[in-house]
């Protein structure tokens, strides 16, 4: 049986780029998942920007 989990969802925008960051809590604490929403498949983006935007706790 799967245990339910809780998470905090952060939405980060930079121009046309949207990053959704899920910070998991409870038994999945420490897991962070980032999803980048692109308008068009294979749209280039700067990974440095993504790391800077989601690295809010370091």
Which pLDDT band, with edges at 50, 70 and 90, does 58 fall under? very low
Residue 2 belongs to some domain of the structure: no
Whether this model's pTM surpasses 0.75:
no
Q: pLDDT tens digits, residue range 11-40?
A: 888 777 788 888 888 878 888 888 887 878
Range of the domain at 38: 7-54
Residue 1 belongs to some domain of the structure: no
Phi first, then psi: give them for residue 18, nearest 5 degrees: -120, 130
Give the total number of structural domains in the chain: 1
Residue 29 belongs to some domain of the structure: yes
Residue 35 belongs to some domain of the structure: yes
Report the alpha-carbon distance of residue 3 to residue 12 in Å, rounded.
Answer: 28
Which pLDDT band, with edges at 50, 70 and 90, does 47 fall under? low
């Amino acid at each position: 049986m799967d245990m339910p989990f809780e998470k905090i969802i952060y939405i980060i925008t930079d121009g046309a780029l949207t990053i959704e960051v899920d910070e998991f809590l409870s038994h999945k604490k420490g897991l962070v998942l980032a999803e980048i929403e692109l308008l068009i498949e294979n749209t280039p983006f700067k990974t440095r920007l993504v790391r800077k935007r989601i690295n809010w706790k370091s």
